[in-house]
Amino acid sequence: MTGLTRRCSRPLPGLLFRFQFARTFFISSPARCQAQRLSLLSLDLMTLPRTFAIVLIALSSFARAADDAAILDGPNYSFSIRAPEGWHMTSTRQLQAAFYPADKTFESTPVIMYVRSTDKAQLHVNNIEELNKFDLRGIQEHHPNAESKKVGSARLSDGKEIPIYSFSGGGYFERVAYAEQSKTITVFVASAEKKDDLKSSEKAFRELVASYLFISDNVTTPNHP
CATH number where 190 lies: 2.60.120.1690
- Taking a C-beta distance cutoff of 8 angstroms, is the pair 149, 165 a contact? yes
Note the pLDDT tens digit of each residue in 95-125. 889 999 999 999 999 999 999 999 999 999 9
Is residue 224 assigned to a domain? no
Q: How many CB atoms lie within 10 A of CB 180?
A: 16
Q: 57: part of which helix (H) or strand (E)?
A: helix 48-65
Asked whether the predicted pLDDT for residue 59 surpasses 50, the reply is no
Is residue 9 assigned to a domain? yes
Is residue 91 assigned to a domain? yes
**In the structure, what pLDDT confidence band is assigned to residue 93 with cuts at 50, 70 and 90?**
confident
Instruction: Give the integer Cα–Cα distance in Å for 203 and 28.
Output: 22
In this prediction, residue 223 carries a pLDDT of 60
Is residue 23 assigned to a domain? yes
In the chain, the amino acid numbered 83 is A
Range of the domain at 97: 3-219
In this prediction, residue 20 carries a pLDDT of 41
Q: How many structural domains is the chain composed of? A: 1
Is residue 225 assigned to a domain? no
Enumerate residues 6+ apart whose C-beta is below 8 A from 99. 68, 83, 84, 87, 88, 89, 90, 112, 113, 114, 204, 208
Is residue 112 assigned to a domain? yes
Instruction: Give the integer Cα–Cα distance in Å for 155 and 40.
Output: 28
Instruction: Give the integer Cα–Cα distance in Å for 66 and 27.
Output: 9
